[in-house]
Amino acid sequence: MPGIILKAKKAAGIDDEELRQVLKKSVEQKGTLKKVLLIPPDITRSHSGAGKITAMYYNMLRKSCKVDIMPAIGMHMPMDEQELTAFFGDSIPKECFLVHNFRQDVEKIGEVPGKYIKEISEGIMDEPIDVEVNRRLLDKSYDLIISMGQVVPHVIVGMSNYSKNIFVGCGGKNMIDKTHMLGAFYGMERIMGRDNTPVRKVYDYAEQNFLKEIPIMYVLTVTTTDKEDIHIQGVFIGRDRDLYEHAVVLSQEKNICFVDKPVKKVVACLDAEEFKTVWVGNKAIYRTRMAIADGGELIVLAPGVRQFGENKESDVLIRKHGFAGREKVLELFEEDRELKANQSITAHLVHGSSDGRFKVTYAVDKLTKEEIEEVGFNYMPLKDAVEKYDPEVLKEGFNVLEDGEEVFFVGKPALGLWTDRNKFCCGEKTIL
C-alpha cells in the first residue's frame, strides 16, 4: 500500500479539513475495518497534533467499527481524566482508553542480539535487548493498529517516533532501560537531531524482524508553534521507513534552531499542563545544552513541576543521586545495584546534567529550595523568575531586558533542538 505525504503550503500549517481528508483517505485504503487500536502519545507530547488526530480517527471510525485507544506512555504516569480531555477533547468516551503497563502487559516477541548491539554501539555495549510489546498489539482481532506522533529531535534515539512509539511507548522494561542507557553511553550530543543512531538501529532491527505480521500504520507529524497555536507542517502516513525519513528531513528543517555563537543565558518555559516532573522537564536542559556557552546559565520556568520522577522508584533514585554529570553517574552505575536494575533512570540522570559546563536554575513553587539544590540544580522562586523573565513578554530568541541583560528565550523546549552551529558536526546528508 503506497504511503501518503501531505506538506503544508502555508506558514499556518495544514488546516483541519485538509487533515481530516488525508486521515480519511488513509483508512479508506484499508478496506472494511471491524476493530481498530489507536496508539497516540501522551500529554507530554501535546505539541504533536496527535490529540486532534486521535479524535478525528475516532469520530470517523466509531460508527462502523470498535475503536480502542491506548496512549504510548512508556514509563510515564498514566493520564488522568482531566489530561485525557485536555489532550483529546471531549468527544471520546473515557471507557475507550486503555492503560499500558510496561511491567505487566508485555510479551517478548524477539531479541536484538548482543553481537549486533556491539557492532552498532562501537563496542560500548554488547548485551542483547529483549523486544517486548503490549499484548494488545498481538491481538489478531485488530484489523488495524494506528501508531501516531511527532518526529522531532530526541535525546535517546536522535529523531523521535516511528517504531519508538511501539518499542518504548508500548514496550517493556528491558528495551526501555537498555536503549536509554545505550543513548546515554554513546553521548547525547552525538545523537540529538540525527536519524541513523545506534538506538534507532535497535528499533529498526526489531521492526524489521518482529513486527511484520502486525498490521501497523504509522501517522507521523512535523509541527511548529507560535506562542498560542500548533501548526502541523507535515503528515506522513504508511508503514515503510522512507516515510519516516521524509519526516526527519522536514523536522530537521523546521525544528533545529542554529545560533551563530554560544549563548550566555537561556530562559526556557515549561507548560504547566505538559510538564509535571523534572524527568520530563529536563528537555529544557538537553534540548538547549549545545547552544549554551561554557560558564553560562539556563533558567527553567517550571510552574507545573511538582516531583522529580514519573513514579516513586525514579523519584527516589533521582533524589538519592542527583544530576551529577555523565562521568560521575557512570561511576555510580558500576557501584549501585539499584541504578543497574533501573537503567532508564540512570540515563535520565545523565540527560539532566550540564556536566558542570553551565548552571541550571529551576524556578518552581511546588518543590522547595532544599529539594532542588539536593539534586544539583540552583533554585529561584517562580514568582521572582517570572517577574524578571516574563514568558508573556519575551519573544523567541534573543531579548534585551530593561537592565541591559541579554537572554535567549525558548518558549517550547519540547518542540526543537537549539545548538551552536559549530557544535553540530554534520554527519548526515539530510542536515543542512
Q: What is the pLDDT of residues 407-418, one digit of tens each?
A: 999 999 988 999
> 153 or 333: which carries more pLDDT confidence?
153
Residue 1 confidence class, pLDDT cut points 50, 70, 90: low
Give whole-number Cα distances, 374 to 307, 318, 328, 349, in Å.
13, 10, 16, 13
Q: Residue 280, SS3?
A: helix
User: What DSSP letter does each residue of 161-190 carry, written as one string?
Assistant: -TTHHHHTTTB-HHHHHHHHHHHHHH-GGG
Final residue in a domain of this structure, among 238, 256, 274: 256
**Is residue 248 domain-shared with residue 310, that is, in the same domain?**
no
The DSSP secondary-structure symbol of 307 reads: B
Q: What is the pLDDT of residues 38-90, one digit of tens each?
A: 999 988 787 888 999 999 999 999 999 999 999 999 888 888 999 999 999 99
On the question of pLDDT at 100 being above 60, the answer is yes
Q: What is the pLDDT of residues 292-339, one digit of tens each?
A: 999 999 999 999 999 998 888 889 999 999 998 888 888 888 888 999
**Is residue 12 domain-shared with residue 146, that is, in the same domain?**
yes
**Is residue 188 domain-shared with residue 271, that is, in the same domain?**
no
On the question of pLDDT at 96 being above 50, the answer is yes
| Mean pLDDT across the chain | 93
Pairwise CA distance, residues 432 & 420, whole Å? 14
Domain assignment present for 291: yes
**Is residue 377 domain-shared with residue 232, that is, in the same domain?**
no
Percent of the chain's residues with pLDDT above 70: 98
Burial of 81 per CB tally in 10 Å (0-12, 13-18, 19+)? exposed
Which residue, among 209, 235, 214, has the nearest Cα to 50 in the 3D structure?
235
Please tell me the total count of domains within the chain.
2
Taking phi over 0 as left and psi of -120 to 50 as alpha, with beta for the rest, 256 belongs to beta
**Is residue 285 domain-shared with residue 160, that is, in the same domain?**
no
Domain assignment present for 79: yes
What's the confidence (pLDDT) of residue 77? 83
On the question of pLDDT at 367 being above 90, the answer is yes
Mean pLDDT of the region 119-148: 96
Q: What is the pLDDT of residues 192-245, one digit of tens each?
A: 999 999 999 999 999 999 999 999 999 999 999 876 788 999 999 999 999 999
Give whole-number Cα distances, 175 to 103, 332, 333, 357, in Å.
11, 21, 18, 31
Domain assignment present for 431: no
**Is residue 223 domain-shared with residue 339, that is, in the same domain?**
no
**Is residue 137 domain-shared with residue 16, that is, in the same domain?**
yes
On the question of pLDDT at 136 being above 80, the answer is yes
Domain assignment present for 92: yes
Give whole-number Cα distances, 250 to 7, 9, 223, in Å.
9, 13, 9
CATH number for position 307: 3.90.226.30
What's the confidence (pLDDT) of residue 425? 58
What's the confidence (pLDDT) of residue 226? 79
On the question of pLDDT at 427 being above 80, the answer is no
Residue 432 confidence class, pLDDT cut points 50, 70, 90: very low
* C-alpha dihedral, 268 to 402 to 292 to 413, nearest 10°: 20
CATH number for position 164: 3.40.50.11440
pTM over 0.85: yes
* Number of separate helices (H) and strands (E) present in the chain: 16, 18
**Is residue 212 domain-shared with residue 276, that is, in the same domain?**
no
Mean pLDDT of the region 236-259: 96
Mean pLDDT of the region 279-296: 95
Reported in sequence order, the residue ranges of 330-371 that DSSP labels E, i.e. its strands, are: 359-364
Residue 248 sits at φ, ψ, to 5 deg, of: -60, -45
**Is residue 287 domain-shared with residue 169, that is, in the same domain?**
no
Range of the domain at 355: 260-420
Contacting residues for 211 by C-beta, under 8 A, at least 6 apart: 109, 133, 163, 166
Taking phi over 0 as left and psi of -120 to 50 as alpha, with beta for the rest, 244 belongs to alpha
Pairwise CA distance, residues 167 & 183, whole Å? 15
Domain assignment present for 335: yes
Residue 226 sits at φ, ψ, to 5 deg, of: -105, -165
Domain assignment present for 225: yes
**Is residue 408 domain-shared with residue 353, that is, in the same domain?**
yes
Domain assignment present for 36: yes
**Is residue 248 domain-shared with residue 293, that is, in the same domain?**
no
Which residue, among 246, 215, 204, 83, has the nearest Cα to 147 in the 3D structure?
215
Final residue in a domain of this structure, among 232, 256, 280: 256
**Is residue 288 domain-shared with residue 250, that is, in the same domain?**
no
Domain assignment present for 360: yes
Angle at 187 between CA 184 and CA 190, to 5 degrees: 140
Sign of the Cα pseudo-torsion (244, 246, 248, 254, in order): negative
Spell 221-250 as b/e; 16+ CB within 10 A means b. Answer: bbbbbeeeebbbbbbbbbbebebbbbbbbb
